[in-house]
């Protein structure tokens, strides 16, 4: 009797995993996951500048935009990586950023690129998730609500594609990002390493996803 119940539980788990995997595959098969979310195609920032947002697969990003993405990543993050046990290795980072599974949101103002997010639809510990690998803004584009807006766009895409949550990894010593993600309601994910391990990063997530821009 006990054995049968156990098998049934396993079968339920296997069925859930199949559904989760199919959701990830379906999301990755979309031509543009932002296409139907029109409220996220542009943003009027706190200084009244108008910002356009596009969503692209890595393979569709022109080389000059990719160079800017690498450059901004390095300008924003090199020091923080060097201060961590991971260190900074631009080749490894660029390889990760150009893996075929990578999707990008790119924000531009008057033809100038001012921010991007690298994200993926993926399985994480058996769950279908939208993983935010990067959120990087030019210094001049910060504190105008754009970071919040891009995260809301990710949350809406996750909601629309039936992902369970939006996840991200952040250095504990990233003094800009920690208060930002907390202000947006991100909490310690249950897969984050135990505090006792004293690692330099935490995994945050949000499960109650919004469907549109929220002030």
Binding site for ligand COA (CB under 6 A): 76, 135-137, 142-148, 170, 174, 176-177, 179-180, 183
Axis crossing angle, helix 90-97 with helix 63-82, rounded to the nearest 10: 130
Rounded least distance, CB 114 to ligand COA, Å: 10
> Helices H, strands E: what count in the chain?
5, 8
Reference 120, options 77, 158, 86; nearest CA is 158
Rounded least distance, CB 30 to ligand COA, Å: 25
Beta carbon nearer to ligand COA, 146 or 203:
146
Rounded least distance, CB 168 to ligand COA, Å: 6
Beta carbon nearer to ligand COA, 22 or 75:
75
**Sheet harboring 127-137: ordered strands across?**
42-44, 50-57, 103-109, 112-124, 127-137, 165-171, 201-206, 187-188
Q: Which residue is nearest to ligand COA (CB)?
A: 147
The Cα 114–Cα 112 span in angstroms is 6
Beta carbon nearer to ligand COA, 19 or 188:
188
Beta carbon nearer to ligand COA, 20 or 69:
69
């Amino acid at each position: 009797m006990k054995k049968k119940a156990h098998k049934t539980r396993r079968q339920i788990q296997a069925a859930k995993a199949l559904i989760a995997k199919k959701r990830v595959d379906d999301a990755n098969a979309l031509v543009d996951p932002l296409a139907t979310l029109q409220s996220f195609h542009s943003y009027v920032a706190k200084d009244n500048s108008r910002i356009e947002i596009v969503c692209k697969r890595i393979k569709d990003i022109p080389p000059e935009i990719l160079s800017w993405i690498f450059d901004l990543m390095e300008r924003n993050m090199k020091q923080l990586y060097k201060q961590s046990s991971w260190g900074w290795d631009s080749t490894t980072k660029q390889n990760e950023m150009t893996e075929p599974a990578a999707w990008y949101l790119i924000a531009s103002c008057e033809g100038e690129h001012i921010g991007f997010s690298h994200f993926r639809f993926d399985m994480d510990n058996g769950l279908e998730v939208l993983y935010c690998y990067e959120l990087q803004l030019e210094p001049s584009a910060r504190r105008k609500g754009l970071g919040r807006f891009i995260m809301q766009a990710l949350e809406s895409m996750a909601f629309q594609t039936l992902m369970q949550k939006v996840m991200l990894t952040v250095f504990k010593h990233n003094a800009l990002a920690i208060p930002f993600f907390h202000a947006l309601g991100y909490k310690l994910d249950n897969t984050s390493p135990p505090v006792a391990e004293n690692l330099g990063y935490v995994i945050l997530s949000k499960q109650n996803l919004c469907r549109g821009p929220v002030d």
